[in-house]
Structure formats: C-alpha cells, structure tokens
Amino acid sequence: MKTVTVTLPAKTYQIKIAAGLLTQVGNEVASLWSPRKIALVSDSHVEPLYCEQVETSLIAAGFTVHVYRVRAGEDSKQLGVLSSLYEELLGDDFGRSDGVIALGGGVVGDLAGFLASTYMRGISFIQIPTSLLAQVDSSVGGKTGVDLNTGKNLIGTFYQPDVVLIDPTVLQTLSQRFLVEGYAEIVKMAAISSLDFWHLIENINQPKDILKQAPALIEASVRFKAQIVEADEKEGGLRQILNFGHTLGHAIELLAGGQLAHGEAVSIGMVQITQIFEDRGLTPSGITAQLKKQLLAVGLPISSDLIGSPQFYELLKHDKKNHGDQLTLVYLKELGTADLYPVKLTAIHNFLNL
C-alpha cells in the first residue's frame, strides 16, 4: 500500500492507494470511525458494481449503512438533488455523529462532500473515488460543490475528508472514454509539476498503457496535489495553478451540454491556452506540440468549435476564479513549471483572440 499524508493547519489525513483496497473498506473505516450510521452515496453507474461489496464490508465492521443513489452525470450536481439528499438523511434520522461516504467519480465526490460539509453544519466524510479523474484529482484537497446554470462549482465548500481510499483495480470497469478522460488530468498534473513526472507520462502511447501504469500515475498525481494543497488549502495563490486548462475547459464543457466529458474539455483548454501563451512568447516554442502529442496518443480532443463564441466569453465572466474585474489564467513557463497571469475581463476577448 502507498500512503500519502496531507498535513493542514486544522486537519491531517491520509490518502491510501492499494489494489484490492475496496475489499478492506470496513476495516479501514473502523480504524477511524466509531460505530455509526453511514450514508453511502453513489450513482447509477457505480452502485450496481461496487455498492454491495462496500456495504457488506461496512456492516461486518459494525456500521449501519443507508445507500443513496443519484443519477450518473454532471446533472446530479444540482441544488435540487442536494435538497433531496438532505431530506433522505433527515428521514433516516442521521445526526451530527454520523457520516457520509462518497463511492463514485468526481460528481459523487463533489456532491456527497458538500452534503457532508453542510448537513447539521458538518458531519464526518470519507472519499472512495472509482474513476481515474476522481482518483488523481477531485477526491484530494477538500473541494466540494454543486453547479449553477451559469457555471460549474459556483456553490461549494472546502471540507477535507477523514481519509481517501483509492483502489486502482476498479478502473478495469471504466469505459475507455472515461479512463482516457481521467488521463487528461494526469497530463495536466505532469505539465505543471516536474520534468520527472512529464517523462513518466511519455511512456503512455495508447489507452491500454494508462491501466498498466495506473498505480504509478495515481501516486505521482496525488503526491503533487497534496503538496499544493498543503501550501495553499483555500486556493489563495499557488493552488490556482491546478486550474491549468480549466478556465477555457469549463466554459467549453458547459456549452457542450453534456457532449464533452470534463477531462475532454480540459484537454482542449490546455492546448488552446498553451498555444495562446506560446504565440505571445510567454511559453517556450514547441510545448503546445508536446501537449498535443501526449493527448492525441490516447484519443483526447484538442480543439472545439465552441471556443470563441459570444456565449463562451460570457461564461468566462462568471468563472469562479475571477477576482473583481480580473480573470487569472494559468500558463506554462516551461514543462513542469506553471505560473499565473491576470487579465482584465474587459481585455479578455483581445487577449485570447479566439
């Protein structure tokens, strides 16, 4: 088992990575929590695959388990779905000493985390991510949230879990598309973290390589993200570099109306923003080509007709990373080094020139 410890001013917790860890969930949770009610939140894709196994393990460890299933997909990150989950917790007499476990991808983690952080002003929370995207990114760092029509994750909290349990073997049930989607976030991590990490992903030449290298890719991603979160838990400065590709990507994702997965939109966003900064001489020549090569090798998209439309620029104005009249863009000073570049919203159209 690989263990990464996240040490923050108010809390320390571990991220555990091991094949077969899903079979040990009950023992892992019992080492942290006393017997209590657990809301096991999952979605319509993951619940039939893994909920029974996890529920049985938790019951054997002395917990009372209530399974709550939401519809798979970004549409579940809505206030209406959240409200229904609050009512279910109340109906099952959940109190402040009980807990929530997220079993699923990033949508489930964000939704269940926000549920735990706000129900009775906060109850215990554990992440068990089952998608590559969630394992390498969204399950780590404590961000929770739901969407509004005008943007993603506009309502949310920072709420750290008590533990993150990652079992790479569950990736075998992911479709190739969603395995590849998660890899986009790994490329993002490698591009902004170090040349050593970038050289690691250069071994990925086709989708099946992602599964073969998954444990190493997950560990490298998690270790880097943990360092960033420790340095800047609430995204006041350094943590903003994790948004590389996301500013343009979130807008594209919303405009696509469900036709683009999150990682696919981020892939497009990384390439487009890097080309813009390369054209301006702020990113060294050739880096966009290296990004494209890595992303295209597994079939990720690198462009979209949605970029540059009036609706696209309107969504940028509502990006949650805006500070006053400025939008902070993330760019590569070189492979393995990212920096922030603030642009006034009134100048964003001319700056991007899309």
Query: Residue 234 catalytic?
Result: no
Question: How far is Cα 321 from Cα 315, in angstroms, rounded to an integer?
Answer: 12
**Candidate list 28, 55, 181, 185, residue with the active-site label:** 185
**Candidate list 225, 264, 278, 292, residue with the active-site label:** 225
**Candidate list 246, 264, 278, 292, residue with the active-site label:** 246
Question: How far is Cα 119 from Cα 315, in angstroms, rounded to an integer?
Answer: 30
Using the structure block, give the residue that is written with the tokens 């091991």. Answer: 18
Query: Residue 349 catalytic?
Result: no
Nearest Cα neighbor of 22 from 45, 48, 55, 44 is: 55
Element (H, E) at 29: helix 25-30
β 322-323/326-334 pair status: antiparallel
**Candidate list 235, 253, 264, 278, residue with the active-site label:** 235
Paired residues of 68 in beta bridges: 41
Query: Residue 293 catalytic?
Result: no
**Candidate list 16, 152, 250, 292, residue with the active-site label:** 250
Query: Residue 230 catalytic?
Result: no
Query: Residue 212 catalytic?
Result: no
171 and 132 Cβ atoms separated by less than 8 Å: yes
294 and 245 Cβ atoms separated by less than 8 Å: no
**Candidate list 243, 253, 264, 292, residue with the active-site label:** 243
Query: Residue 143 catalytic?
Result: yes
**Candidate list 37, 77, 152, 262, residue with the active-site label:** 262
**Candidate list 143, 152, 188, 292, residue with the active-site label:** 143
**Candidate list 16, 77, 239, 292, residue with the active-site label:** 239
Q: How many CB atoms lie within 10 A of CB 23?
A: 14
Query: Residue 250 catalytic?
Result: yes
Known catalytic residues are 121, 143, 185, 225, 235, 239, 243, 246, 250, 262
